Amino acid sequence: MAKKKTAKQKTVKAKAAAGPTQSARAAKQQAAKIRRLLDNESTVDLGCELLITLADPAVYEASLKGCGVDAESGRLEVSRLFRHNQEWRTRALIRILGTAPEGCSLRGADLGQLDLSSVQGQGSSGTSSQLGDVYDSLLVSLPEEVAGFTNLKRLSIDNTLIRKLPGSLAELTNLEYLSVAFDNTYFSLAYGSGWDARAFLTTLPRRIGQLKNLMELKLSSNSIKTIPKGIGDLASLRELDLSGNPLQALPESFGNLSKLETLDLSNTSLKTLPDSIGGLVSLQSLNLSNTSVQHLPSAIGQLESLKTLHLPETIEEVPKELGHITSLSRIEMDASYDWNEEGSDPVARVILGLCRQILATEQRR
């Protein structure tokens, strides 16, 4: 008698409805098929690997791996979302997972990691029609149903066309990692400057401060201009990447991020930093490269944990309080100065003084 395959070896395939003109009724029937497949896997062991593939490339391909009930090992990956009715299909998949039977390990409430990042398209060049296909293949909105994943700890939504995150995201109070970044470099090289004409994430939910357990927030290369004051309530935040956004100002509440260790503000439109930045007492790395910042507030001298500081070429004044930071061991600058004439430039004079101070500290150790 042939040995029965384990759950990890099982591969389930469902045929997609033919043609890009699939009706809503056919789409619902397709969702029902997937649900029945999941129902049939109700005895799947922990740590299972279940692959659901929809054969028609006009639909999508979803890969579900490590579907354990333990939030640490639970993982869902939607590797591709193709252009045909992809928003509805994402919602359908999430609804299915959120209502899986009791015995099934694919329960939304137990899901620990969710990856909805979507990048389709390869090569170093592409025609306008190819560019349009890639645009149409990317996720454009995050379903409200995601809020049902109450134990979710990691959520990745990189390389999408999402412009706004739902307010219900604030209900994911166990979330520790959130990434809504975009790889502009890749798409610019592959498809030209046409990518710059598209607006990506433009705003953050006002209630984002409710994510009390969030430790990493990655929002690079989007279209964010303002940050809600609620960001100051992210009491556990340790890493924040806002690089590559047309960000113009930071709220005063920013200084409440007392556990923040890494802050990347490079390639933004910032001209000033709030005086409250002195409250970032745990900050170790601050990147201001390619910004329009001209002056640093004297409160920067309160950053007692700062080790690395990257200054833009627009910097005109560095406060003497910067010299109070005994932990500072690395200063990087976009601009070049005539370091042999330190008396002719106030920035060069202060930086040289800091360098001597750092060197003296190292020699004493």
Whether residues 215 and 71 fall in one domain: yes
pLDDT band at 59 (very low <50, low <70, confident <90, very high): very low
Answer whether residue 151 is part of any domain: yes
Reading the block at residue 235, the tokens are 């009491």
Per-residue pLDDT, averaged over 299-311, amounts to 94
Answer whether residue 358 is part of any domain: yes
The Cα–Cα gap between 112 and 33 comes to 25
Nearest to residue 332, comparing CAs of 313, 357, 319, 316?
313
pLDDT higher than 60, residue 48: no
Average pLDDT, the chain: 67
pLDDT reported for residue 182:
80
Instruction: Give how far Cα 39 sits from Cα of 33, 108, 210, 288, 354, Å.
Output: 10, 14, 35, 52, 65
Whether residues 101 and 195 fall in one domain: yes
Per-residue pLDDT, averaged over 224-249, amounts to 96
pLDDT reported for residue 252:
96
Whether residues 194 and 260 fall in one domain: no
pLDDT higher than 90, residue 90: no
Q: Are 240 and 257 in contact (CB under 8 A)?
A: yes
Instruction: Give how far Cα 160 sits from Cα of 67, 79, 184, 238, Å.
Output: 24, 12, 11, 25
Answer whether residue 342 is part of any domain: yes
Q: Are 317 and 296 in contact (CB under 8 A)?
A: yes
Whether residues 109 and 185 fall in one domain: yes
Task: Choose the final residue of a domain: 191, 224, 257.
Answer: 224
262-264 and 239-241 as β-strands: parallel, antiparallel, unpaired? parallel
> Which residue in this structure is represented by tokens 């359908």?
92
pTM attached to this predicted model:
0.68
Nearest to residue 197, comparing CAs of 223, 174, 175, 172?
223
Whether residues 44 and 151 fall in one domain: yes
Answer whether residue 234 is part of any domain: no
Calculate what percentage of the chain has a pLDDT beyond 90: 32
pLDDT band at 154 (very low <50, low <70, confident <90, very high): confident
Q: Which of 108-112, 217-221, 275-279 has the lowest mean pLDDT?
A: 108-112
pLDDT higher than 90, residue 99: no
Answer whether residue 206 is part of any domain: yes
Highest mean pLDDT among 32-36, 137-141, 157-161, 290-294: 290-294
pLDDT reported for residue 101:
31
Answer whether residue 83 is part of any domain: yes
pLDDT band at 241 (very low <50, low <70, confident <90, very high): very high
Handedness of CA 23, 28, 34, 37 (dihedral sign): negative
Instruction: Give how far Cα 304 sits from Cα of 211, 258, 320, Å.
Output: 26, 12, 14
Per-residue pLDDT, averaged over 335-351, amounts to 58
Residue 275: how many CB atoms within 10 A of its CB?
Answer: 14
pLDDT reported for residue 365:
60
pLDDT higher than 60, residue 141: yes
The Cα–Cα gap between 88 and 22 comes to 12
pLDDT reported for residue 232:
97
Whether residues 55 and 164 fall in one domain: yes
pLDDT reported for residue 349:
63
Whether residues 191 and 139 fall in one domain: yes
Whether residues 265 and 184 fall in one domain: no
pLDDT tens digits for 161-207?
A: 788 898 889 999 999 999 998 876 655 555 555 555 445 789 999 99
Answer whether residue 142 is part of any domain: yes
Per-residue pLDDT, averaged over 73-81, amounts to 37
> Which residue in this structure is represented by tokens 């649900």?
35
Per-residue pLDDT, averaged over 105-117, amounts to 53
Whether residues 191 and 77 fall in one domain: yes
Task: Choose the final residue of a domain: 224, 256, 276.
Answer: 224
The Cα–Cα gap between 201 and 209 comes to 18
pLDDT band at 317 (very low <50, low <70, confident <90, very high): confident
Whether residues 167 and 279 fall in one domain: no
Alpha helices by DSSP H, listed for the chain, are 24-40, 86-98, 128-137, 184-191, 346-364
Answer whether residue 154 is part of any domain: yes
Whether residues 182 and 271 fall in one domain: no
**Structural domain count, the chain:** 2
The CATH number that applies at residue 168 is 3.80.10
pLDDT band at 95 (very low <50, low <70, confident <90, very high): very low
The CATH number that applies at residue 359 is 3.80.10.10
pLDDT reported for residue 80:
35
Per-residue pLDDT, averaged over 211-221, amounts to 96
Domain that holds residue 197: 27-224
Task: Choose the final residue of a domain: 208, 224, 240.
Answer: 224
pLDDT reported for residue 6:
44
Per-residue pLDDT, averaged over 316-331, amounts to 84
Residue 266: how many CB atoms within 10 A of its CB?
Answer: 20
Whether residues 202 and 343 fall in one domain: no
